[in-house]
Amino acid sequence: MKTAIATHDNDTITIRGRNLVEELIGKVTFTEMAFLQIRGRMPTATEKAIWDMVLVTLMEHGFTPSVIATRMIAMSSPEASQSAVAAGILAVGSQFVGTTELAAELLEKLVSDPEGIEAAALRTAKEYRAAKRALPGFGHHLHKPDDPRTPRIFEVAHEAGVPGQHIEALQILSKHVDAVSGRHITINATGAIAAVLCEIETPPQLMRGLSVISRAAGLVGHIEEERAHPTGRGLWDLVEHSVEYTEQL
């Protein structure tokens, strides 16, 4: 059994081949350290900018299922705030964040399609339309006609110097989706994040990990607010009075 992450002896702690005390503490940011830990090397300026942007974008989304779970546990087990974070993190699953992975896989297919991106995008738009399936990375229940985050995410990525092929593929797909649907369907932030992470060659399975890291920080904010200004008892009462009992469902 082997690891390339870390080792230590009496005097030295080594992480990814670097001396923690001499090369990392006080010299790198959290984002650089996380990239080093997860990817095994220091990020380029482009990669660092993308990670910071993605981690900033994903952190907070209001009273989502994840936050509600966290606050329920924070009110029940205030002595164990790690439990409240853990509960909220368990919401990072197929329904909300898993779509980033699916969007990324879709984009990878488009850019490597032997018929070219245009043809592949048109075919994909038609296939999903015919199957009446939701296309990962498209649509938003609230932000209509457009998700305000998407153009900003693309803008920052271009400024950071990404090659741009996956962003372009997503935009071409968007063009065909609109044409095939006969109406404008927004590229949502999930789709935009998938594209910019693909730009820096992030494996899809890591995208969920980035969400978890960012959400952990978001949830710590909610736990602290819940401690100081509790909503838990109010939410509990609200729910209890809103769910009706029936003999048979």
CB 173 within 8 A of CB 121: yes
* Footprint (CB under 8 A) of a second copy, residues 152-181: 152-153, 155-156, 159
Q: What angle do CA 89, 92, 95 make, to 5 degrees?
A: 150
Q: By CB under 8 A, name the one of 45, 130, 131, 249 that touches a second copy.
A: 249
Closer by beta carbon to a second copy, 121 or else 192: 192
Closest approach of a second copy to the CB of residue 204, in Å: 11
Closer by beta carbon to a second copy, 63 or else 134: 63
33 lies in the binding site for a second copy (CB under 8 A): yes
* Footprint (CB under 8 A) of a second copy, residues 188-227: 205-206, 208-210, 212-214, 216-218, 220-225, 227
* Footprint (CB under 8 A) of a second copy, residues 68-97: 68-69, 72-73, 75-87, 89-96
Q: Which amino acid is at 47?
A: E
* Residues 108-127: x where in contact with a second copy by CB under 8 A, - otherwise, as a string: --------------------
Residues 6+ apart with CB under 8 A from 171: 187
Residues 6+ apart with CB under 8 A from 112: none
Candidates 129, 143, 137; CA nearest to 166 is 137
Cα–Cα distances in Å, from 151 out to 70, 154, 189? 31, 5, 9
Report how far residue 54's alpha carbon sits from residue 207's, in angstroms, rounded to the nearest whole number: 10
Closer by beta carbon to a second copy, 140 or else 176: 140
Report how far residue 117's alpha carbon sits from residue 237's, in angstroms, rounded to the nearest whole number: 52
Closest approach of a second copy to the CB of residue 171, in Å: 18
Closest approach of a second copy to the CB of residue 165, in Å: 20
Closest approach of a second copy to the CB of residue 238, in Å: 6
Candidates 168, 173, 162, 109; CA nearest to 135 is 173
Q: By CB under 8 A, name the one of 11, 45, 130, 133 that touches a second copy.
A: 11
Closest approach of a second copy to the CB of residue 101, in Å: 10
